[in-house]
Amino acid sequence: MSILPVPSFLDDIKEKGLRKAVLEGIDETVTRLTAGMNIQDIREALRGDPPSRRPNPRLTPHADGFFLHIRPAYYNQAVTGIYPTFRMGWLSTYFFILEIITGIFLMVFYTPSPDVAYDNMMEILGNVPMGQFMRDLHRLGAEAMVLFVALHMLRTFVTGSYKRPRQFTWFTGMILLMITLFLSFTGYLLPWDQLAFWAVTIGTSMAEAAPPEVVGTNVNLLLRGAPDIGAGGLLRFYLLHVLLLPLLTIIFLFVHYYKVVLHGHSLPPKLEEVGQDTAKRVPVEKRVYFIPDVLTTELMWVAGVSFAMVMMVTWFYHAPLENHADPQVTPLHTVAPWYFLWLQGMLKFGDKVLMGVVLPTIIFGFLFVMPYLDVTKSRRYAHRRFALSTGALVVALLIVLTFTGTPYYGVEGSADQEVTESMIPWRKTRPATRHPL
């Protein structure tokens, strides 16, 4: 009979002895934590042995666990190599998680107020243990996330993986792309230095240009919290950056991942008949199980990329910080972050409303609905010459526009202005803002 009103661990000890009760208790806790795998199952998986009990315990975490619910239990061997995914989707997720970890660290030492934000940054760089390391990782991770999300998008376009039935996977991907860009943009303001202040002033003034005037003015007011960027704007950007946008990312990441489970990873185009989608039907001999094969490969990528990131920020990369933001001093050249330079480049070719608002809205709007408009069934490269050539042309155009977005193109200050600018010591810390003169 139980010595407590409910069955307890003490009863177990009484019945089985201390050693057995403790070992069984640990095993049961591990099984609960992994949603189905006990210590023996984990050991077998890590050794590469086949599972010793049936039904296969390595499938249970996918059915019963929350996190693995969004990962397929097995993959087709054809999609587990570098091609066709190039691991870009996984790397995008990796960088998002890196941003959360380093971001929480930075939040501890940062207050979103114009009075102290810049001082906090100096503190983080000079006084906080590992502060500069964490800031550099956060900044480099953010840039890498934008890069890998864009490359992942390019690869799903090239392999035609956006086509039926994966239109909505692409659609949620577009939402993730927009959120990623906004995450970066809102983070840009937080150091409250000249670079941040002016780049964001220009960015939000594009929102102000949105027609009709009543919309533009109010969107701008909503973003900045006042006609100009100040305490209200900083607080709003901070809250978007640390709360709303990460929350939305997590929600849409789950939807995006779940859609991949639902439809299966698209196979390399040449392995399927035109118009067919056999991703979900994986023959037994072609199955590569998530536990342990895909999981361990992914962990290996995490280790490799983390090592590369640590090397980068230790020796080669430091996040820039300019002088304290000063609304009275307009820098000679304000440069957008590299991933928005194409937009800044477009602004040099025409009207602010057309180039800064109308065209980008049309471009992104088109990208959202592209899979629904696509009429070619085939995913084969040879059948998609028009789409692939157009894609290549767009990438080339983006590169050219990115160049035109830099101060090297179409910006001529007077010679004395440029010389004085290049001689101001603090401008020298950031080569990208200097003119070739």
Chain residues binding ligand HEM by CB under 6 A are: 85, 88-90, 92-93, 96, 149, 152-153, 156, 161-162, 166, 169-170, 173-174, 176-177, 180, 253, 256, 260, 265-266
Distance in Å, CB of 173 to ligand HEM, minimum: 2
- The Cα–Cα gap between 425 and 329 comes to 15
- In terms of residues, how long is the chain? 437
Which one, 77 or 205, has the nearer CB to ligand HEM?
77
Residue 111's CB is within 10 A of a number of other CB atoms, namely 12
Distance in Å, CB of 85 to ligand HEM, minimum: 4
Which one, 166 or 224, has the nearer CB to ligand HEM?
166
- From residue 182, how far is each of 171, 189, 249, 320, 431 by CA, in Å? 17, 11, 11, 20, 25
Which one, 97 or 419, has the nearer CB to ligand HEM?
97
Distance in Å, CB of 194 to ligand HEM, minimum: 30
The three-state secondary structure class of 75 is strand
Which residues sit opposite 288 in a β-bridge?
A: 75
Q: Minimal CA–CA distance to 342: which of 125, 129, 150? A: 150
Distance in Å, CB of 391 to ligand HEM, minimum: 12
Distance in Å, CB of 342 to ligand HEM, minimum: 16
Phi, psi of 193 (to 5 degrees): -105, 180
Which one, 349 or 364, has the nearer CB to ligand HEM?
364
Query: What are the tokens at 10?
Result: 């003490």
Which one, 269 or 407, has the nearer CB to ligand HEM?
269
Contacts for 383-387: CB closer than 8 Å, 24+ residues apart: 383/274, 384/160, 387/160
The three-state secondary structure class of 220 is helix
Which one, 182 or 338, has the nearer CB to ligand HEM?
182
Which DSSP helix (H) or strand (E) runs through 76?
strand 74-76
Which one, 120 or 184, has the nearer CB to ligand HEM?
184
Which one, 153 or 195, has the nearer CB to ligand HEM?
153
Q: Which residue has the tokens 């065209």?
A: 359
Distance in Å, CB of 176 to ligand HEM, minimum: 4
Do the Cβ atoms of 280 and 264 come closer than 8 Å?
A: yes
Distance in Å, CB of 206 to ligand HEM, minimum: 22
Residue type, 274: V
Which one, 256 or 434, has the nearer CB to ligand HEM?
256
Which one, 44 or 277, has the nearer CB to ligand HEM?
277
Which DSSP helix (H) or strand (E) runs through 287?
strand 287-289
- The Cα–Cα gap between 87 and 110 comes to 34
Distance in Å, CB of 167 to ligand HEM, minimum: 8
- The Cα–Cα gap between 203 and 428 comes to 24
Do the Cβ atoms of 189 and 233 come closer than 8 Å?
A: yes
Distance in Å, CB of 256 to ligand HEM, minimum: 5
Which one, 66 or 315, has the nearer CB to ligand HEM?
66
> For 172-187, b where at least 16 C-beta lie within 10 A, e where not — what string?
bbbbbbbbbbbbbbbb
What ranges in 161-267 are assigned the alpha helix state H? Answer: 167-189, 194-208, 213-224, 231-239, 245-263
Which one, 295 or 353, has the nearer CB to ligand HEM?
295
Do the Cβ atoms of 191 and 121 come closer than 8 Å?
A: yes
Q: Minimal CA–CA distance to 137: which of 106, 109, 168? A: 106
Residue type, 130: M
Which residues sit opposite 324 in a β-bridge?
A: 193
Distance in Å, CB of 83 to ligand HEM, minimum: 11
Distance in Å, CB of 246 to ligand HEM, minimum: 11
Distance in Å, CB of 366 to ligand HEM, minimum: 12
